[in-house]
Amino acid sequence: MSPDPFRVLFVCTGNICRSPMAEVVFRDLAERQGLGARIVSRSAGTGDWHLGERADERTIESLARRGYDGSQHRAKQFTAASFSDNDLIVALDRTHERILREWAHDEDEEGKVTLLLAFDPDASTQDVPDPYYAGTEMFDSVLGMIESATRGLFRQLEPALRAPRTPRA
């Protein structure tokens, strides 16, 4: 029986800009490090405005400029089941973090919530800015922040991911 993968969910507002970027970048990083089978990288939004939609075209273009494929993304909404379906829930800014902690039913669920930029010691802010109302340059800047922070997150998780893992009961 093979071990269950570690499940990470990235969360932003509408699940069409920041969180899809983080999902794609983190999945790509795990695959390039030979740990793609040990990680499930997903994303969701706190709101339902874009359910089923593709990522914002500027998100897809920004990802493509750096060699990532975000074309398969379809927006999903965070639900109560998202807590039990994931091992780590990564908020893209403090507003999302606050909302997710409020939605948590107990300390275990609340303990799964963290901020993405907490994994980047060089970050000058705690929040990944929302590029939705900005131009292409902002999408590229946000992607750079996400790349740096997801590398930090991956470095923290990597030793556990490389260690033998026991199947879930």
> Which residues are marked as active site?
12, 18, 130
Closest C-alpha to 93, from 142, 128, 123: 128
The residue assigned the tokens 């997801």 is 150
How far apart CA 105 and CA 124 sit, in angstroms, is 32
Closest C-alpha to 51, from 81, 84, 88, 13: 13
How far apart CA 85 and CA 8 sit, in angstroms, is 9
- Listing from the earlier edge strand, what are the strands of the sheet with 113-115? 39-45, 6-12, 88-91, 113-115
Contact 78, 104 (CB under 8 A): no
- Token representation of residue 60: 């897809």
The residue assigned the tokens 């990802």 is 63
Tell me how far the alpha carbon of residue 139 is from its chain's centroid.
16
